[in-house]
Amino acid sequence: MAEPSLMRITLSAEGRADGAAPTFADRRDRWVVVAPAQARLHPRLAQVVLCESALRPDLDVFYGDEVDGAALILKPSPDLTMLAAADYVGSPLILRSSAMRRLGGPRREMGTAAAYDLMLRAAAAGLGIGRITQVLAAYDGNRPRPVEADRRLALEDWLGDARELFDVEAGRVAGTTRLRRRFSACPEVTLVVPTRQSAGDGARPVILDLLDSLATSDWPMERLTVLVGDDVEDEAIYQGHDWPFHLRRIVTTRPPGERFNYAAKMNRLWREAADEHLVFVNDDIVVSRPDWLRALLTYSMERGVGGVGARLLYPDGRLQHAGIAGGLFGFLAHAWLGRPAEAPTYQDWALLPREWSMVTGALFATRRSLLEQVNGFDERFSLEFNDVDLCLRLRANGYRIVCTPFAEAVHVEKASRGSVVPPGDELAWFLNRWRSLLENDPAFHPGLSPHSFDLHPLVPIGEWWQG
């Protein structure tokens, strides 16, 4: 197999496309590498591209990892959600010559965001994009990053007509952005809440704290229905309250001796809902930001998104959920579990809207039509795994799973049903279905330590860039 032809387009040290645009051949066997002048590229980059393109002939664009001084910058698989928030891809970008011909090359008018703009346009053009899990570029502590004004210019150009649908605001991390959907008319939404009227630390049922917090939401209350599935027939706890939303209660008692099945209960409830837009909410949630629902629906209303999770905190302020990573501890786990909420995280991932293969179902937005498509929860997972299995099946059907830090809530985890060890047959069935993906989670990275909740790179030895 012949070595591929590689043409390098050198950006300025700041990431600008200052030179004249070359002519690109309409050939798939030739490749163009876009990188800043100071980038040291993998010495066998041509062979790496040859191997990767042979494995994935459907792809037109590759990107890889970088090292900046001693900092390893490892990247997940293509993630449009995080790309809209930050330039996580960086460089080098490696494109087929035919793809570069179609795109027209880096644009000078995008200033220091020339590579970022090129990546966005490749995604908008529907080109196949993939990552290479190797360090392809090294910098001596001067890896360029786009000036924020340039990056926003590229982002707004990428949004195109959709620019009218979103406000582009500052993110939770300096130099990042938030897309906030504009709602000219807020759609009707049903919140699906399972409960058994469990109490928290005191005698007050936790669902009352949830309902009180929902009343502080900035969503039009006449367009909000809270559908409660209650295992207790007595409705006395709901009396005497004047919540502004529509509360609908369904009694979900079980025959004596019948084992509780969360998945079956949730399937019954969402099928009772009349609205397309649904949010599953555990009864031990307390929402802490008035715009939490707008934040979830900013993404869940997108055609290509299957479900959206929230950033969840324990009552004492520790982080409980900002995404679930496959491969952690040989299985799966919540990244950064139990860490201080404001503690730094690898590449700020816990504060960026980004895609994961799995998120928790404790606070989860989706659409009724999608649940009908996949037949809702798999009721063989009675207690555990039903939410992550739903995410993985939605993802297998081509839908993205998003976690947004702009929907934040407190979760008294398992206050509603306690801690129960999942049945062994359910664990076996889950592993039989998803073991391969868990071992190669595209939202994770094989270079990250699988033995720590704090995501961090493994220490490499003898790499080309260490000499």
Residue 3 has pLDDT above 70, yes or no: no
Q: How confident is the model at residue 199 (pLDDT cuts 50, 70, 90)?
A: confident
- Single-letter code of the amino acid located at 167: D
Per-residue confidence (pLDDT) for residue 420, from 0 to 100: 56
Report how far apart, in Å, the C-alpha atoms of 297 and of each of 164, 213, 355, 407 are. Answer: 16, 18, 15, 10
pLDDT tens figures, 106-162? 999 999 999 999 999 999 999 999 999 999 999 998 899 999 999 999 999 999 999
- 73-82, 129-138, 196-205 — which is least confidently predicted? 196-205
CATH fold match for the domains 5-162 and 189-439: yes
pTM: 0.95
**Mean residue pLDDT across the chain:** 94
Helix crossing, 386-396 with 424-439: angle to 10°?
40
Tokens of 177: 């952005």
Residue 418 has pLDDT above 60, yes or no: no
Per-residue confidence (pLDDT) for residue 416, from 0 to 100: 45
Residue 423 has pLDDT above 90, yes or no: no
Residue 195 has pLDDT above 50, yes or no: yes
Query: Mean per-residue pLDDT for 269-288?
Result: 97
- Single-letter code of the amino acid located at 406: F
Per-residue confidence (pLDDT) for residue 219, from 0 to 100: 97
Per-residue confidence (pLDDT) for residue 9, from 0 to 100: 95
Q: Are 311 and 178 in contact (CB under 8 A)?
A: no
CB atoms within 10 A of CB 251: 12
Residue 47 has pLDDT above 90, yes or no: yes
For the domain made up of 5-162, give the CATH fold: Spore Coat Polysaccharide Biosynthesis Protein SpsA; Chain A (3.90.550)
Residue 446 has pLDDT above 70, yes or no: yes
Q: How confident is the model at residue 1 (pLDDT cuts 50, 70, 90)?
A: very low
Per-residue confidence (pLDDT) for residue 202, from 0 to 100: 66
- Assign residue 21 a region (left: φ > 0; alpha: ψ between -120 and 50; beta: otherwise): beta
Percent of the chain clearing pLDDT 90 (strictly above): 89
Query: Mean per-residue pLDDT for 39-54?
Result: 96
- List the domain boundaries for the chain: 5-162, 189-439
Q: Are 271 and 369 in contact (CB under 8 A)?
A: no
Residue 253 has pLDDT above 70, yes or no: yes
Report how far apart, in Å, the C-alpha atoms of 285 and of each of 228, 264, 281, 308 are. Answer: 14, 21, 7, 16
Residue 27 has pLDDT above 70, yes or no: yes
Q: How confident is the model at residue 417 (pLDDT cuts 50, 70, 90)?
A: very low
Using only C-alpha atoms, what is the Rg of the chain?
A: 24
Q: Of 143, 89, 79, 95, whose CA–CA distance to 444 is shortest? A: 79
Per-residue confidence (pLDDT) for residue 422, from 0 to 100: 65
Q: How confident is the model at residue 421 (pLDDT cuts 50, 70, 90)?
A: low
Query: Mean per-residue pLDDT for 406-433?
Result: 79
Helix crossing, 262-272 with 386-396: angle to 10°?
60
For the domain made up of 189-439, give the CATH fold: Spore Coat Polysaccharide Biosynthesis Protein SpsA; Chain A (3.90.550)
Query: Mean per-residue pLDDT for 71-84?
Result: 97
pLDDT tens figures, 280-339? 999 999 999 999 999 999 999 999 999 999 999 999 999 999 999 999 999 999 999 999
421: helix, coil or strand? Answer: coil
Tokens of 318: 């520790």
